[in-house]
Structure 1
Amino acid sequence: MFSLAMRSLRHRAPAFAASFLAMLLGATMIMAFASMLDTAGGAGVSSADEETLVTMASVVGGWGLILVLFAVASTLTLAVRQRAAEIALLKSVGATPAQVRRMILGETAVLALAAYALAIVPGLLGGRALLTLLQDTDQVTATVQHAFGPVALAMGFWVTFAASMGAALLTARRAVRMRVTESLLDAAAGPRRTSRKRIVGGIGFLLLATDLAVITATVMRGEGTEAMQTAGQTSIWASIGFALLGPVLVRRVAGLPAAPLARFGGGSGHLAVQNIRRRAHQLAGALAPIILFTGIGTGTLYMQQIDSAAIAAEGAVPNDMQKNIETLNLVVIGMIVLFAAIMLINTLVATTVHRRGEFGRQRLAGATPGQVYGMIALESAVLTVTGVLFGLVASLFTILPFNYARTGTAVPDVGPGTFLGIVAVAAALAMVTSLAATGRTLRTPAVQAVAV
């Protein structure tokens, strides 16, 4: 089965590209931030510098770890589901569940090891850039030398490998439990129901976000900048919760404009409506990064704006700790923007390219390339609106409690400019990526696309 796994990787390289890039970027991020721990343990590092470096590695690296785990699990699940027909064929010719599981785990192990090896140099360069940022903002002494040693290498390996293999086990468990007929149906239209574990997980993250929001508004009220310790996490948990509930959101919320699209959208509108109804799980993969991008980015940026405005209203001069927190927030935003953007692009490309056969059948049935483009544009618009909507709701888990804890008022005195900028970037990424991938797919003749 390992030999089969290697041949499958070579034959289906595009299908595994999203998972590989998620692992690669995740390992790079983890090693870059973990190198701050190596640096903190170097000779001649003062206690103040050590505290700053450890805080940067722990806080930002911890949030990054959660996002990496979620991204790898999402992309790997998508890759395995796209091979449902292949797995069903293997079962029909006698492959046992254990053999299928070993194949999936073998593929994932190879990807994780390759991603880790290729991430070492970018992780080293990223760590140096992070230390330079801290030194340029006078948070770490200029004489501190960057170290990239055993902590960064070990954390990069174990986090990447453990996250990847854990995601593979979960994905393989579902794949091997399905009967051949179920696998073929899953390959054709995707799962009909959202699993109970996914729903429970999504609700659990939302309850955790609610708990932290209450703590921020009550226990942390009057604590000043310290309220960020609980408020900053809240939008992350809420965004992950809504992302896990993605298939439900696609079916229930994204399906609301179905009637107008079918009536006024012509052929493209009809095709878009059918895909939204039948491919909720596949479309939910693209919805998740939009929610993460919008929710975490909006929540963290507005939290920083509220804190800066409160400091100015108090007539105080920002101290070193406050500058450190501001830098942390900006680094988090940069990390999230990059990671969510790449995750969104990877997911949309993988999902769209996999629909080559579907596009071919539509064209053979009479759909024009323009109608296919229109269908993808409408789907992207619906997903973007849905993702932005729930991303905004997730950000309010941070914004409203923190504003109350910091200023004593319910509604923050901030403008919509930041949110509109985030929405514009999310919409541009979703639309441009989807249409570009569609154009690449449509270059394949319809008859050849159906045969692939």
Structure 2
Amino acid sequence: MITLALGPLRRRPASFVGLAVALFLAITTVTMFGLLFAADLTAGDAVQKADVGPGLMVIAGAFGEIAVLVAFFVVVNALGFALRQQHRELALLRTIAATPRQTRRLVRVQVVATTLVVAAPAWAVGTAAAGRFLAELQRRGMAAPGLRVPETFLPLLVALAAALAAALAVGLAASAVAARRISLIAPAAALTASATEHGRTGAPRLLAGVAALAGGAVLLRLAATRPVEQADKAGQAALLGSLVLLVAVALLGPLAARLLAAVSGAPVRLLAPRTGWLADANLRGYARRLSSAVVPVALLVGLSGTMSIMTSTAGNAPGTTATSVTSATDVWLRQSELALLVSFAAVSTVNTLVAVTAGRRREFAMLRLVGATSSQLLRMLTVEAVLTTVVGVLLGATVAGAASAAFSTAVTGSAAPTVPMAACGWIVAGAAALTVPVILVTGMRAVRGPAAERVGGGGG
């Protein structure tokens, strides 16, 4: 079973590199903030009584809450995609009478192996990041000079356990769904079904998506009703609400992506009748694959847009809000948090797009066998990349707009926030700069090689 489980990691490393990086980020983040909590807990009485602002634990909690949730969101998205890439292997196991229990064991081995590989470097980076962040807080007078990062393994072990628990829970649930789907049809038909997509989204996923939408709406309502003197709490509730709405986007992604692709693809079909039609058909026909590609883009745009608009809105708010929210230290904290969140989202975007595009080698080979040239395929990929960017930006902008409107209601009394057009323009440009080149570069590599060999090898 161990050999069988590790086989896909060797054959399709691109599908698991994203998961490895996501787990690395999650363990690093939990290690970093866990060590900061430990530093505050183990500090002496004289250090704890020092008057240096809200305290290290409060700062680490407010800063780390969203960062840890985003890190695990990236893990869930990466793991879900890695498992979807194994539907063909699950179908093959079905043909040799593998049981659902054996399938779950296979996924457990893969998750544990990937997590253990990245644990040691993640611990090292998380420990170094905790020391650097504490030093920056002390330099700005936000942490007592006597605080030190303790030499304890407990936060490191907690980070490993949390990453394993989250990844195993998601992995086992996803593998159970996949195994059930494949087991409902004849073994001979399972191989064909593994290469296609269902046209409908399952009821459990729809219900979970609706529940996430409702939860996000409740959080945004909570943010909007905060009094003006609690602007920081309103900001945290709005940012958390945006993350929950992005979870809803991930769950309902196939439906939303198919609808937005149809709307945005119409002018493309008119401007480029051949490649535009093929690109639009690919995106709408493979809505789950499109959803996997646009969710990280939406995460990048949604979180960075929310943070930028909230900071701009707070800066233009009158009275005590402006002084409490936009002091030099608060601005630095917000910029640091934004940089961390953008880094997570950017890594997730690159990893997912590389894996999605690289996994289409067999599809590209079949197109070449029916007469498509490499230049035609690259033009098709260019159109797909642009449409993927548009759909991701629209979804992310919708989330950012809702979250920032709730925050603006709390601090200004108006649902119309102050939108920094230049910053938002850079966010959109950054999303495009990540999405389009990554898809094209990976696509150029994927279309190389003998087409007949690619088709026979199943996409390698």
Indicate the TM-score class for this superposition, using the shorter chain for normalisation.
over 0.9
- The equivalent of 1:33 in structure 2 is 33
- The equivalent of 1:139 in structure 2 is 142
* Separation (CA, whole Å) in 2 of partners of 1:294 and 1:71: 14
Specify the code of the residue in structure 2 equivalent to 1:383. Answer: T
CA contact (8 A) 2:131 2:149 kept: yes
Specify the code of the residue in structure 2 equivalent to 1:431. Answer: V
Instruction: Provide closer, same or farther for how the CA distance between residues 155 and 373 of structure 1 changes in structure 2, counting only shifts above 3 A.
Output: same
- The equivalent of 1:211 in structure 2 is 218
The correspondence for 1:171, drawn from 170, 174, 180, is 174
Alignment of 1:103-122 (within 5 A): 103-122=106-125
In the superposition, the TM-score normalised over structure 1's length comes to 0.92
| Residue 265 (str. 1) matches residue 272 (str. 2) | yes
CA contact (8 A) 1:34 1:61 kept: no
* Separation (CA, whole Å) in 2 of partners of 1:251 and 1:414: 29
Quick check: 336-345 or 5-14, which moved more?
Answer: 5-14
- The equivalent of 1:64 in structure 2 is 67
* Separation (CA, whole Å) in 1 of partners of 2:321 and 2:279: 54
* Separation (CA, whole Å) in 2 of partners of 1:442 and 1:136: 52
- The equivalent of 1:425 in structure 2 is 430
Alignment of 1:35-434 (within 5 A): 35-44=35-44, 45-47=47-49, 52-177=55-180, 178-179=182-183, 180=187, 183-221=190-228, 223-310=230-317, 313-314=318-319, 318=323, 325-434=330-439
* Separation (CA, whole Å) in 2 of partners of 1:244 and 1:273: 22
Percent of matched pairs sharing the same residue: 29
CA contact (8 A) 1:213 1:230 kept: yes
* Separation (CA, whole Å) in 2 of partners of 1:260 and 1:347: 27
Specify the code of the residue in structure 2 equivalent to 1:175. Answer: A
Q: Provide the secondary structure at the position in 2 that maps to 1:192.
A: coil
CA-to-partner distance for each residue in 1:65-115, whole Å, 9 max, x for gaps?
322332222222212221212221121122222112211111111111222
* Separation (CA, whole Å) in 1 of partners of 2:300 and 2:197: 25
- 1:377: Cα distance to partner? 1.4
Instruction: Provide closer, same or farther for how the CA distance between residues 364 and 320 of structure 1 changes in structure 2, counting only shifts above 3 A.
Output: closer
Give ranges in structure 1 of 5+ residues lacking alignment. Answer: none
Q: Provide the secondary structure at the position in 2 that maps to 1:411.
A: coil
Q: Provide the secondary structure at the position in 1 that maps to 2:55.
A: helix
* Separation (CA, whole Å) in 2 of partners of 1:198 and 1:269: 31
Q: Provide the secondary structure at the position in 2 that maps to 1:255.
A: helix
Specify the code of the residue in structure 2 equivalent to 1:64. Answer: A
In the superposition, the TM-score normalised over structure 2's length comes to 0.91
May I ask how many residue pairs the two structures share in their alignment?
A: 450
Specify the code of the residue in structure 1 equivalent to 2:442. Answer: A
CA contact (8 A) 1:282 1:351 kept: yes
Quick check: 429-438 or 71-80, which moved more?
Answer: 71-80
- 1:387: Cα distance to partner? 1.3
Instruction: Provide closer, same or farther for how the CA distance between residues 322 and 230 of structure 1 changes in structure 2, counting only shifts above 3 A.
Output: farther
CA-to-partner distance for each residue in 1:181-233, whole Å, 9 max, x for gaps?
56424432223222222222222222222222222323435644443242332
Give ranges in structure 2 of 5+ residues lacking alignment. Answer: none
* Separation (CA, whole Å) in 2 of partners of 1:305 and 1:346: 31
Q: Provide the secondary structure at the position in 1 that maps to 2:261.
A: coil
Instruction: Provide closer, same or farther for how the CA distance between residues 49 and 243 of structure 1 changes in structure 2, counting only shifts above 3 A.
Output: farther
Instruction: Provide closer, same or farther for how the CA distance between residues 3 and 404 of structure 1 changes in structure 2, counting only shifts above 3 A.
Output: same
Instruction: Provide closer, same or farther for how the CA distance between residues 12 and 50 of structure 1 changes in structure 2, counting only shifts above 3 A.
Output: farther
Aligned-CA RMSD value: 2.3
Instruction: Provide closer, same or farther for how the CA distance between residues 60 and 191 of structure 1 changes in structure 2, counting only shifts above 3 A.
Output: farther
* Separation (CA, whole Å) in 1 of partners of 2:413 and 2:143: 34
Instruction: Provide closer, same or farther for how the CA distance between residues 195 and 52 of structure 1 changes in structure 2, counting only shifts above 3 A.
Output: farther
* Separation (CA, whole Å) in 2 of partners of 1:374 and 1:244: 30
* Separation (CA, whole Å) in 2 of partners of 1:151 and 1:57: 17
Q: Provide the secondary structure at the position in 1 that maps to 2:195.
A: helix
* Separation (CA, whole Å) in 2 of partners of 1:49 and 1:95: 60
CA contact (8 A) 2:298 2:393 kept: yes
* Separation (CA, whole Å) in 2 of partners of 1:224 and 1:56: 15
CA contact (8 A) 1:296 1:395 kept: yes
- 1:339: Cα distance to partner? 0.6
CA contact (8 A) 2:228 2:321 kept: no
Specify the code of the residue in structure 1 equivalent to 2:48. Answer: S
Instruction: Provide closer, same or farther for how the CA distance between residues 354 and 87 of structure 1 changes in structure 2, counting only shifts above 3 A.
Output: same
* Separation (CA, whole Å) in 1 of partners of 2:210 and 2:303: 18
CA contact (8 A) 1:39 1:148 kept: no
CA contact (8 A) 1:221 1:404 kept: no
- 1:64: Cα distance to partner? 2.5
Instruction: Provide closer, same or farther for how the CA distance between residues 356 and 53 of structure 1 changes in structure 2, counting only shifts above 3 A.
Output: same
